[in-house]
């Protein structure tokens, strides 16, 4: 709730500090005394737009500071936590407006954009009157008000959970869709390439073997001629190396008894002869295997040509093709899995949407039932508050675009008429400032025990009423103040007498300056103020007695 406001150099206010308490606080004063200045200053501290005209004449800037106790205001506490604005169960708001135009906003000592101040302000104070803080003109507030009255937090929680789950699935599908953009064409191309490489069926060692075989077959004539000639020189002809070496070995062995050195050499050459004979045998076998095979050569050349064509096509070397084929197959498998994953997500999205719509439908039913009850009760209170022909109908309609949100699929509208000859129209289009304040009071009288906003301010609530109706309005304000802090600007003593606290606004003028002063009234001063409001020019003992009686009667309620 609001605990203190400090105002410096704002409009007609020089330097003002006011402390506030719980319950109903009344603001009164002569016409033109400046009663609305306090509300205007508070509105600026809550994020209302400002201009340099509000700065006190001959001053550099206006400075407004507001202190609020938010220990029981969970929405405000959560908001501050989300925006990383420290708090200790108190909220400190400040607004400065320069005489040159720009303004600055602060939350708990930290500079913030005005819009953030405005967002937080809507969770702290609800101003009912002809200004931009009129909560009943905001669609989200009307829905929240109805939900609070309906008291269905479990339904709201289930709808919110269903919406979050649906969004997560939709986001996962979108991300997968983006990551596989053009996937169908890519999958088809990969499938073709994988099949092509599978048909090629190139083994890891095949290329090397093919190249070696091709080299041998391509040079078969030369290999046969050279091998045959080498074999003849080595073993076949009479003058072959083998024959000559055999004779040498035989000659040296014949002399081994006479010369031991020659015997050793003979043994060495004998070992060489054995190696020569073994090599000759291998040449015989190899020559038998060598033959011309032009068909096989053509097959190998065609196979190598196909391999190199495909390697150029994929811009990899022929030796890399086996590994490249494995990588393409893995990529194709991933894309095919992505298709399966998208199909799975689509099924889950459809199921999640059905779950969400089912829950949202139950929420709509609860809202419709609550809307009927709230409409009936609020209409009854409107009649008591000086609108005997007034009627309010709260409509719960589906969003025209069928959109799904975290709070359901309903658009909540307040339709009002204050004249039986006029049709029901949206609240903001048919009600005057005073009527709007009293309609707000009627609604909050019904829903007050379930309101999220801890401080309510009513301006112009008594316009166009008097007598018994004024007393009923005052009683309604006092009753509402049991659930939340209420501030009310009033011209009527019947309303003022219902307050727990009373502030008097006065204006002082001199030749140079005019200032506005606001003071907390004592019990005696309060009696005098209500007597002034009752009596007119001259306050009589009878008027004072009437004022005392009104105060005594109101305090018993």
Higher pLDDT, 141 or 350: 350
Handedness of CA 174, 175, 178, 181 (dihedral sign): negative
Q: Which two tokens stand for residue 408?
A: 């359901």
pLDDT of 498 reads 92
Q: Are strands 125-128 and 391-398 parallel, antiparallel or unpaired?
A: unpaired
Distance CA 370, CA 360 (A): 15
Average pLDDT over residues 398-427: 88
Asked if 14 and 491 count as a contact pair (C-beta separation under 8 A), the reply is no
Task: Place 290 in a pLDDT band, splitting at 50, 70 and 90.
Answer: low
The answer, as to whether pTM is greater than 0.75, is: no
Average pLDDT over residues 261-285: 80
Out of 1-15, 283-297, 331-345, 531-545, least confident range: 283-297
pLDDT of 411 reads 92
Asked if 10 and 52 count as a contact pair (C-beta separation under 8 A), the reply is no
pLDDT of 75 reads 87
pLDDT of 320 reads 81
Average pLDDT over residues 341-346: 87
Query: Does 449 have pLDDT greater than 60?
Result: no
Task: Place 302 in a pLDDT band, splitting at 50, 70 and 90.
Answer: confident
pLDDT of 107 reads 93
pLDDT of 239 reads 74
Out of 70-79, 283-292, 407-416, least confident range: 283-292
Average pLDDT over residues 336-354: 87
DSSP state of 236: I
Helix then strand then coil, in percent of the chain rounded to 5, is 60, 20, 25
- pLDDT for 456-465, tens place per residue? 888 877 777 7
Chain Cα centroid distance, residue 154: 22
Average pLDDT over residues 459-480: 84
Chain Cα centroid distance, residue 61: 37
Out of 204-218, 269-283, 478-492, least confident range: 204-218
pLDDT of 487 reads 93
Query: Does 4 have pLDDT greater than 90?
Result: yes
- pLDDT for 91-102, tens place per residue? 999 999 998 878
- pLDDT for 105-134, tens place per residue? 999 999 999 999 999 998 899 887 655 446
Q: What is the CATH number of domain 1-131+450-521?
A: 3.40.50.300
pLDDT of 326 reads 82
Q: Could you tell me the residue ranges of all domains in the chain?
A: 1-131+450-521, 183-335
Residue among 365, 362, 359, 364 at smallest CA distance from 162: 359
Asked if 5 and 70 count as a contact pair (C-beta separation under 8 A), the reply is no
User: 491: Cβ–Cβ under 8 A, 6 or more apart, which residues?
Assistant: 28, 31, 462, 533
What is the chain's mean pLDDT, rounded? Answer: 84
By percentage, how much of the chain surpasses pLDDT 70? Answer: 89
Beta strand extents in 186-303 (DSSP E only): none
Query: Does 48 have pLDDT greater than 80?
Result: yes
Residue among 62, 63, 58 at smallest CA distance from 513: 58
Higher pLDDT, 274 or 498: 498
Query: Does 287 have pLDDT greater than 60?
Result: yes
User: 493: Cβ–Cβ under 8 A, 6 or more apart, which residues?
Assistant: 530, 533, 534, 547, 550
Asked if 251 and 205 count as a contact pair (C-beta separation under 8 A), the reply is no
Distance CA 193, CA 200 (A): 11
DSSP state of 56: P
């Amino acid at each position: 709730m609001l605990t203190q406001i400090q105002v410096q150099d704002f409009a007609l206010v020089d330097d003002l500090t006011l402390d506030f308490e719980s319950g109903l606080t009344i603001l009164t004063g002569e016409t033109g005394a400046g009663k609305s200045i306090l509300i205007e200053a508070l509105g600026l501290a809550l994020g209302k737009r400002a201009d340099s005209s509000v700065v006190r004449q001959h001053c550099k800037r206006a400075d407004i500071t507001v202190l609020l106790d938010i220990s029981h205001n969970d929405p405000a506490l959560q908001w501050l936590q989300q925006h990383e604005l420290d708090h200790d169960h108190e909220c400190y708001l400040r607004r400065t407006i320069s005489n040159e135009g720009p303004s600055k906003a602060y939350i708990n000592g930290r500079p913030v954009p005005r819009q953030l101040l405005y967002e937080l302000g809507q969770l702290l104070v609800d101003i009912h009157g002809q200004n931009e803080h009129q909560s009943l003109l905001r669609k989200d507030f009307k829905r929240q008000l109805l939900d609070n009255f309906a008291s269905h937090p479990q339904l709201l929680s289930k709808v919110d959970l269903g919406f979050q789950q649906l969004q997560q699935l939709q986001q996962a599908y979108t991300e997968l869709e983006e990551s596989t953009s053009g996937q169908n064409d890519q999958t088809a191309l990969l499938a073709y390439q994988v099949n092509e490489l599978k048909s090629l069926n190139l083994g890891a060692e095949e290329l090397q073997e093919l190249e070696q075989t091709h080299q041998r077959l391509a040079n078969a004539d030369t290999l046969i001629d050279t091998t045959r000639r080498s074999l003849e020189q080595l073993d076949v002809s009479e003058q072959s190396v083998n024959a000559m070496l055999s004779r040498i070995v035989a000659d040296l062995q014949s002399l081994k008894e006479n010369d031991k050195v020659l015997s050793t050499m003979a043994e060495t050459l004998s070992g060489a002869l054995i190696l020569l004979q073994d090599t000759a045998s291998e040449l015989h076998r190899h020559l038998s295997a060598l033959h011309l095979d032009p068909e096989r050569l053509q097959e190998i050349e065609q196979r190598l040509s196909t391999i190199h064509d495909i390697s150029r096509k994929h811009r990899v070397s022929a030796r890399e093709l086996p590994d490249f084929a494995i990588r393409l197959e893995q990529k194709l498998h991933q894309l095919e899995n992505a298709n399966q994953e998208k199909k799975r997500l689509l099924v889950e999205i459809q199921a999640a949407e059905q779950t969400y719509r089912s829950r949202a439908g139950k929420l709509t039913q609860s809202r419709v039932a609550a809307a009927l009850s709230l409409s009936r009760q609020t209409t009854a209170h409107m009649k008591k508050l000086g609108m005997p022909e007034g009627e309010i109908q709260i409509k719960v309609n589906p969003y025209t675009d069928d959109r799904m949100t975290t709070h359901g699929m309903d658009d909540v509208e307040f339709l009002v008429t204050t004249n039986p000859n006029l049709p029901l129209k949206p609240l903001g289009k048919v009600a005057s400032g005073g009527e709007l304040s009293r309609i707000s009071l009627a609604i909050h009288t019904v829903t007050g025990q379930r309101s999220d906003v801890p401080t309510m301010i009513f301006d112009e609530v008594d316009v166009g009423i008097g007598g018994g109706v004024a007393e009923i309005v005052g009683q309604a304000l006092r009753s509402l103040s049991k659930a939340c802090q209420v501030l009310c600007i009033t011209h009527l003593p019947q309303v003022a007498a219902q307050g727990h606290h009373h502030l008097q606004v006065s204006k002082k003028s001199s030749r140079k300056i005019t200032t506005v002063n606001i003071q907390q009234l004592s019990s005696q001063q309060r009696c005098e103020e209500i007597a002034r409001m009752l009596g007119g020019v001259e306050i009589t003992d009878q008027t004072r007695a009437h004022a005392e009686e009104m105060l005594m009667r109101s305090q018993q309620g």
